[in-house]
Amino acid sequence: EREKVIALVGNPNSGKTSIFNDLTGARQHVGNWPGVTVEKKEGKLGYQGQTFNIVDLPGTYSLGAYSEDELIARNFILFDKPEAVINVVDASNLERNLYLTIQLLEMGANVVVALNMVDEARARNIEINIPRLAQALRVPVVPTVATRGEGIKELVATVAKQIQESTCRPLKVNYGREIENELDKLEQIIKQDAKLAMRYPARWLAIKLLEDDERLEAELQKEGSRPVLEAVAKSKKQLHEILGEEVEAIIADRRYGFINGLVKEAVIRHQTLEQRLT
């Protein structure tokens, strides 16, 4: 049995390094990701007789194909299949940070959210209803202040429990009837391609292909997955005709819309004293 792996994912400056240090202490190893000069940090975490391998993935805002950092992070989750992913989220910048969270959930990663910098959020009069946020995302959310080690014990216990229970339910953003219809069709065609279906979650791949993900397109071309590519081209053309806009833009819009709704439900912005006085 291999050592269980916990990957750390988060936006730059979300406090990922601080959480990594809290989890691993001095038991760290720094190397490079294969083939690139991006630093790879690993460390050990002992918990109730188990040892977890903590892998720090590059800080990133998204999991597209636009940068080496994004690709390293997404490929690690897709192909190394860590038992759990700790998504470090900056509570004082929730809306922006959740864009990455949604993508992790769409990939089917076994996510626990470390809602970090809750001290900073509090100082800015941002109150987050944590149970409601957890319910909407359908994953555990643990508040932390990484610089003071607050919440780290709870985070570790939650992740260990999440790994044991392994109740992974990919979140489904509703992209609207027209796009959903095409996603259903594409999912079916992808599932008929055994090699692709083994490598990628079908719905995730369908979304990414509608989003014009160049890496995935190139891979499909190389692998000769013609039926999928042809179906994607057809879907894109059709959606463009119906919706009058590039599908990629609409998908991004709907994702932001979903996050917006979520934030409206889970976040209360108290007026600051200055705001109340003006």
Binding site for ligand BGO (CB under 6 A): 10, 12-18, 59, 116-117, 119-120, 145-147
The C-alpha angle with vertex 152 and arms to 50 and 122, in degrees rounded to 5, equals 165
In whole angstroms, how close is the CB of 61 to ligand BGO at the nearest point? 12
Q: Which residue's CB is nearer to ligand BGO, number 122 or number 254?
A: 122
Q: Which residue's CB is nearer to ligand BGO, number 70 or number 211?
A: 70
In whole angstroms, how close is the CB of 12 to ligand BGO at the nearest point? 5
Question: Which residue carries 């991004």 as its tokens?
Answer: 252
In whole angstroms, how close is the CB of 272 to ligand BGO at the nearest point? 18
In whole angstroms, how close is the CB of 81 to ligand BGO at the nearest point? 23
Q: Which residue's CB is nearer to ligand BGO, number 120 or number 223?
A: 120
User: What is d(CA 186, CA 15) in angstroms, rounded to the nearest whole number?
Assistant: 38
Q: Which residue's CB is nearer to ligand BGO, number 38 or number 173?
A: 38
Q: Which residue's CB is nearer to ligand BGO, number 103 or number 235?
A: 103
In whole angstroms, how close is the CB of 73 to ligand BGO at the nearest point? 13
